[in-house]
Amino acid sequence: MPEITTSDGVRLSYEEAGQGRALLLVHGWSAHAGFFAPQIDELSKSFRVIAPDLRGHRHSPAPPLEATVERLALDIADLLAALDLRDVVAVGWSLGAMVLWRALLDGAAERIAGMVVVDMTPRVPGAEDWQLGMLGGYEAEETPALTLSMRQDWPAYTRRIVRRLFAADRPPDTGLADWAEAEIARNDPAWMAGLWQSLAGQDFRAALSGIPTPTLVVHGGRSQLYGAGTAAYLETTLPDARRVAFDRSGHTPHLEEPELFNRIIEEFAAGLPTGPTNGIAHRTGLTGAPNRRETRP
């Protein structure tokens, strides 16, 4: 895999395929670029697809430094600059969405023409004034015990992760689930625990109104992690956003419904302007995609 050296001297590996407009795929916590294999394979026919392994994941080493969302966002900014990418269509799945939000707020907006948020919330823990975090009632006070369980028995925690990745009330593809479990199990437990602590401490609710980048909010209709209300909140809070639900998917619509997901990405990209948005809202259009349900609050 090709790689760059980040501004703090860490190697960041990435997959690259195809030619055309840059499509940046940023994976979720404990995953890696390979979780976008259906997109790399198919969308590279019409895009220059770039999919990094975030530091501490697969081929990008975990340095003896604190694992934070902020540092991952700096890594994405370093990657965009090193490859001189412009007019980028950026897809952030789960943690990847937070990383891109942070990067956009810190200056990457001049290089990113549009963003796709895949099944994520601006604040993971719930609170008295926030009921749209992770389903199941996870609260910030639980983070120390949660990260301890990761460090003590990562294989068991890996199985817990995989059980919640895919659609509720619908058995996942056995081969896909087994592959995901094997890949996630390779991670360093201490690094994953540290990164989870940072992820759980993020709160982008107040910042979303300052992200004018045209955005498509993708929600897994059978997600076990985030509900439809979270996607609706993002649609109404981001200045230029609309949402689409994948009725047969859980937290990974790009793996569970890859053909539809790829078609939606192509449509979204086709509706984006070229050149930086400069804060001018641009309503994106999605038309003609079968089996897609669009909902508005």
Residue 285 lies in a domain: no
Read off the pLDDT of each residue in 75-103 and give the average, rounded to a whole number. 98
Structural domain harbouring 12: 3-270
Residue 79 lies in a domain: yes
Residue 169's pLDDT band (boundaries 50, 70, 90)? confident
Residue 276 lies in a domain: no
By DSSP bridging, strand 47-52 and strand 88-93 are unpaired
Q: Give every CB contact of residue 173 below 8 A, 6+ residues apart in sequence.
A: none
Question: Residue 105 corresponds to which tokens in the numbers above?
Answer: 């707020």
Buried b (16+ CB within 10 A) or exposed e, 182-208: ebbbebbbebbbbbbbbbbebebeeeb
Report pLDDT for 275.
Answer: 57
Report pLDDT for 92.
Answer: 98
Report pLDDT for 295.
Answer: 39
Residue 134 lies in a domain: yes
Residue 263 lies in a domain: yes
Read off the pLDDT of each residue in 192-197 and give the average, rounded to a whole number. 97
Q: For the chain, give the DSSP string.
A: --EEE-TTS-EEEEEEE--SEEEEEE--TT--GGGGHHHHHHHTTTEEEEEE--TTSTTS---SS---HHHHHHHHHHHHHHTT--SEEEEEETHHHHHHHHHHHTTGGGTEEEEEEES--S-SSBBTTB--SSTTT-BGGGHHHHHHHHHH-HHHHHHHHHHHHS-TTSPPPHHHHHHHHHHHHTS-HHHHHHHHHHHHT---TTTGGG--S-EEEEEETT-SS--HHHHHHHHHHSSSEEEEEETT-SS-HHHHSHHHHHHHHHHHHHTSPSS--TT----------TT-B----
Residue 283 lies in a domain: no
Read off the pLDDT of each residue in 279-295 and give the average, rounded to a whole number. 39
Q: How many CA atoms lie within 13 A of 213 on its CB side?
A: 33
Residue 289's pLDDT band (boundaries 50, 70, 90)? very low
Residue 295 lies in a domain: no
Q: Give every CB contact of residue 130 below 8 A, 6+ residues apart in sequence.
A: 123, 205
Residue 84's pLDDT band (boundaries 50, 70, 90)? very high
Residue 286's pLDDT band (boundaries 50, 70, 90)? low
Question: Residue 71 corresponds to which tokens in the numbers above?
Answer: 């540092």
- Output the domain CATH number for residue 192: 3.40.50.1820
Residue 284 lies in a domain: no
Residue 175 phi, psi (nearest 5): -65, -40
When divided into structural domains, the chain yields a total of 1
pLDDT digits (tens, 9 = 90+) for 108-125: 999 999 999 999 999 999
For residues 257 and 249, is the Cβ–Cβ distance under 8 A? yes
Report pLDDT for 172.
Answer: 79
Largest CA distance in the chain: 49
Residue 277 has pLDDT above 50, yes or no: no
Question: What does each C-alpha distance from 105 to 195, 204, 206, 264, 280 come to in angstroms?
Answer: 20, 10, 12, 25, 15
